[in-house]
């Protein structure tokens, strides 16, 4: 175990920001949800369009589906693939898996078969729980496929007697990997519970009404769903696949939404086009990408102080790790801080084995019960990213985020970019190297370069450049190959063919020159 060198100034600021201990229950999601259901049986738990489920019905239906999962061989510690469209059935399915003591693995039915087979194998999936039984049974014949059909379930089924260990895995999210192999991140029950109880960044109680907007394969959905249901509040499932501001305003007003999370890109659209959409919401959480200061300033002027809260956190730390309430003007600032650690989370800025003093840029490292136990089947990467250190005589297990930042004198941390080529696009974490890996597999591609560009709204778009080995190399050919290898959220928005890739004086690809030329060449790949 290595000892971290430190100065008095560095130790002082880190001690100040890491006083985050707060009480949270020592139970699992199963027990906490069942307590909420027992406490508020007639309260509305889930709303979707015209449908509503009370806690009594939601709990009973989940118990009944859990019986069917156990009949299919699901046992504590197993992993169940979850693919259900946003609906009450999705929530019932998620709870049923948890009630078996198993972990849910959310996936999208549009992901390529090869990717899904790899994910299921890496996670050692026991079964699939879905509302698309026929399609999934054909695609994955080796796995039992269990249907989600509420009409066939018994809403009076009793809670299973099983007690779930809070240190067991609740869910697994797969994120992009630079070698072409996605990384499986298991998250414990304890990590979720520490996120939503005694929260510093948002008020959550039985009066909480939280819309569920995110894809369940994006970990923001963990906050949206469990933040409401573990407190006896209401989870409002957004009725459409894509957010329209007029519809969002109606959902917010008709349901009395108290808090919501929106990605940076969606936040910017709301601020630009219809900030009044969220006027009645008490807390607007936003994050997933670096914020546009122009949009943050406009939002503060419209909503006032403290209503907008920027949140930051890698998947490996159970959704959110830091928060920054916007209460001061950001005019003249270089970047919006990612802020201070949330409850029961610690943050250290480290460079070359030394704790950084205020103003010194280093790598942002995180600690606390929110940390994942490590990557599935990736022992070497886990050893590299999760490291135990001695910090001022205390043994601390840190996760190396790969993000650069520094502490201000007041302790707020400011993000300064990545150590690698990882980016976030619409809230999804993407390794540009993974896209390049599959691009280089395309027949007739000699060389490729993948980067991002930013629209006026602040939204990022993935842009790929390829050097052809023959005339058969076209944007459409590249697109058609990639669509069989990577999920839609990773697809380049533009693919351009170039005779060569320009280089800088140091021999690196000249990103700026490529981006400046792209509007005069190929059309976007999706056209």
Kindly state whether residues 73 and 36 are assigned to the same domain: yes
Task: Report the distance separating Cα 49 and Cα 165, nearest Å.
Answer: 35
Report pLDDT for 516. Answer: 84
pLDDT in tens, 153-165: 999 999 999 999 9
Question: pLDDT by residue for the chain (527 residues), tens digit each?
Answer: 789 998 999 999 999 999 999 999 999 999 999 999 999 999 999 999 999 999 999 999 999 999 999 999 999 999 999 999 999 999 999 999 999 999 999 999 888 898 899 999 999 999 999 998 888 888 998 899 999 999 999 999 999 999 999 999 999 999 876 556 789 999 999 999 999 999 999 999 999 999 999 989 889 999 999 999 999 999 999 999 889 999 999 999 999 999 999 988 889 889 989 999 999 999 999 998 788 888 899 999 999 999 999 999 999 999 999 999 999 888 888 789 999 999 999 999 999 999 999 999 999 999 999 999 999 999 999 999 999 999 999 999 999 999 989 999 999 999 887 776 677 777 677 877 778 778 878 888 887 888 888 776 667 888 999 888 888 889 998 999 888 888 888 889 899 998 888 866 555 678 888 888 775 444 444 43
- Tokens representing residue 487 in the block: 């999920």
Structure tokens at 145: 């496929």
Q: Are residues 240 and 326 in the same domain?
A: yes
Whether residues 262 and 161 fall in one domain: yes
Q: Do residues 27 and 166 lie in contact, with contact meaning Cβ atoms separated by under 8 Å?
A: yes
524 close to 476: Cβ distance less than 8 angstroms:
no
**506 inside domain:** yes
pTM of the model: 0.84
One domain for residues 381 and 510: no
Do 179 and 272 belong together in one domain? yes
Q: Would you say 404 and 367 are in contact if contact means Cβ atoms under 8 Å apart? A: no
- Residue 225 is part of a domain; what is its CATH number? 3.40.50.12780
Structural domain boundaries, residue 82: 29-344
In a domain, 527, yes or no: no
Single residue among 289, 324, 344 that ends a domain in this structure: 344
* Per-residue burial over 382-397, b = 16 or more CB atoms within 10 Å of its CB, e = otherwise: beebbbebebeeeebe
CATH of the domain at 453: 3.30.300.30
Name the nearest CA neighbour of 149 among 63, 229, 61: 61
Q: What is the DSSP letter of 308?
A: E
Tell me the percentage of the chain whose pLDDT exceeds 90: 67
**Domain-ending residue, one of 317, 344, 371:** 344
- Exposure class string for 119-139: b at 16+ Cβ within 10 A, else e: bbebbebbbbbbbbeeebeee
What's residue 358's pLDDT? Answer: 96
Residues 318, 428, single domain; the answer is no
For residue 250, is it within any domain? Answer: yes
CA atoms within 13 Å, Cβ hemisphere of 492: 32
Residue 526 belongs to a domain: no
Q: What's the pLDDT at 259?
A: 98
Domain end point (choices 318, 344, 370): 344
pLDDT at 521: 45
Same domain, 404 and 278: no
Same domain, 407 and 443: no
Is there a single domain that holds both residue 401 and residue 294?
no
pLDDT at 179: 59
Burial of 377 (C-beta count, 10 Å sphere; 0-12/13-18/19+):
middle
Query: CATH number, domain at 390?
Result: 2.30.38.10
170 and 72 within one domain: yes
Residues with Cβ < 8 Å from 130, sequence gap 6 or more? 81, 82, 83, 84, 109, 136, 145, 146, 147, 148
Residue 256 CB neighbour total at 10 angstroms? 12
Q: Distance (Å, rounded) from C-alpha 31 to C-alpha 228?
A: 15
What SS3 class is residue 31?
helix
Residue 333 domain flag: yes
Asked if 451 contacts 515 with a C-beta cutoff of 8 angstroms, the reply is yes
Predicted local confidence at residue 294, as pLDDT: 87
What span, in angstroms and rounded, lies between the C-alpha atoms of 493 and 434? 15
8 A C-beta contact, residue 512 and residue 503:
no
Q: Are residues 288 and 151 in the same domain?
A: yes
Q: Based on the domain organization, do 491 and 469 belong to the same domain?
A: yes
Residue 525 falls within a domain, yes or no? no
CA 313-315-317 angle, to 5 degrees, is: 65
DSSP 152: G
Domain count within the chain:
3
């Amino acid at each position: 175990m290595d000892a971290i060198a430190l100065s008095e100034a560095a130790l002082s600021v880190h001690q100040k920001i890491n006083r985050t201990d707060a009480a949270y229950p020592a139970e699992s999601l199963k027990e906490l949800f069942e307590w909420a259901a027992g406490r508020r049986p007639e309260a509305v738990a889930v709303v979707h369009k015209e449908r509503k489920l009370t806690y009594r019905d939601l709990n009973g239906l989940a118990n009944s589906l859990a019986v069917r999962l156990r009949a299919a061989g699901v046992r504590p510690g197993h992993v169940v693939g979850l693919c259900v469209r946003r609906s009450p059935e999705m929530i019932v399915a998620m709870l049923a898996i948890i009630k078996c003591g198993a972990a849910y693995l959310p996936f999208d039915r549009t992901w390529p078969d090869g990717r899904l087979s790899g994910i299921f194998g890496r996670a050692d999936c026991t079964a699939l729980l879905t509302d698309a039984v026929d399609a999934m049974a054909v695609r994955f014949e080796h796995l039992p496929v269990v249907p989600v059909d509420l009409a066939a379930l018994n809403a009076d089924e009793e809670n299973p007697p099983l007690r779930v260990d809070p240190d067991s895995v609740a869910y697994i999210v797969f994120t992009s990997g630079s070698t072409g192999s996605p990384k499986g991140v298991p998250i414990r029950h304890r990590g979720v519970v520490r996120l939503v109880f005694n929260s510093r960044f948002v008020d959550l109680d039985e009066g909480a009404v939280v819309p569920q907007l995110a894809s369940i394969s994006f970990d923001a959905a963990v906050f949206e769903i469990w933040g409401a249901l573990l407190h006896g509040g209401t989870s409002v499932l957004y009725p459409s696949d894509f957010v329209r501001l007029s519809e969002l305003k109606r959902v917010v007003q008709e349901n009395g939404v108290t808090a919501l999370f929106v990605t940076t890109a969606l936040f910017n659209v709301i601020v630009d086009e219809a900030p009044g959409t969220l006027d009645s919401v008490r807390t607007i959480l936003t994050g997933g990408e670096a914020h546009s200061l122009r949009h943050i300033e406009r939002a503060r002027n419209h909503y006032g102080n403290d209503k907008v809260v920027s949140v930051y956190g890698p998947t490996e730390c159970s959704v959110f790790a830091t928060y920054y309430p916007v209460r001061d003007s950001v005019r003249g600032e270089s970047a919006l801080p990612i802020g201070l650690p949330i409850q029961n989370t610690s943050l250290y800025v480290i460079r070359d084995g030394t704790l950084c003093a205020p103003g010194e840029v280093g790598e942002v490292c995180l600690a606390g019960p929110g940390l994942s136990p490590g990557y599935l089947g990736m022992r070497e990467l886990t050893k590299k990213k999760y490291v135990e250190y001695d910090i001022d005589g205390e043994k601390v297990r840190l996760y190396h985020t790969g993000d650069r930042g520094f502490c201000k004198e007041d302790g707020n941390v400011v993000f300064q970019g990545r150590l690698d080529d990882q980016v976030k696009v619409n809230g999804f974490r993407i390794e540009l190297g993974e896209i390049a890996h599959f691009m280089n597999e395309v027949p007739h591609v000699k060389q490729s370069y993948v980067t991002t560009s930013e629209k006026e709204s602040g939204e990022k778009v993935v842009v790929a450049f390829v050097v052809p080995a023959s005339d058969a190399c076209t944007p459409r050919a590249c697109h058609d190959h990639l669509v069989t290898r990577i999920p839609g959220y990773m697809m380049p928005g533009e693919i351009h063919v170039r005779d060569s890739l320009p280089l800088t004086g140091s021999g690196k690809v000249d990103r700026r020159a490529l981006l400046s030329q792209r509007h005069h060449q190929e059309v976007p790949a999706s056209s």
